[in-house]
Amino acid sequence: MGLMDTIKGWFGTAKDEGADLADKSMDQASELVDKAEPYVEKTKDFAEDTADTAGAKLEELKDSGSDSVDSAQDEAADALDSVQDKAAEAVDTAQNAAGNAADAVEGAVDDVKDKLDS
């Protein structure tokens, strides 16, 4: 009976340690997502501010009454589109990075769980 108790003790300890590791991994994933969130928000804010600034500049050019208003409007619209595209790309990149970090941690947790189950 002593040998069986020892073996049960080993597997019980390994299972407990695996569960602790899984919990820690999920905590770390949550922390990574939380850390990425301010950057996503800053990027969104930057995009909104830039769009507002470009819109204000466009209105300013409209009001100036110069002969090149149409040309300036086209250039400002193109610049606004470019800024919005780049801001959207930055938001997507930040969100993908946060998602990839969460997926990696989730994969590690799944691996630990699979090892514990087998």
Residue 93 in this model has a pLDDT that exceeds 80: yes
Q: For position 1, what pLDDT does the model report?
A: 54
> Which residue, chain included where needed, has tokens 């799944």?
110
Q: Which helix (H) or strand (E) holds 56?
A: helix 2-64
pLDDT tens for residues 4-20? 666 666 666 666 777 77
Q: Where are the domains of the chain?
A: 2-117
Phi-psi region of 23 (alpha: psi -120 to 50; beta: other; left: phi over 0): alpha
Q: For position 12, what pLDDT does the model report?
A: 61
13-17, 22-26, 53-57: segment of lowest average pLDDT:
13-17
CA distance 65 to 110: 64
Residue 65 in this model has a pLDDT that exceeds 80: no
Per-residue pLDDT, averaged over 66-74, amounts to: 69
Q: For position 16, what pLDDT does the model report?
A: 72
Per-residue pLDDT, averaged over 103-112, amounts to: 76
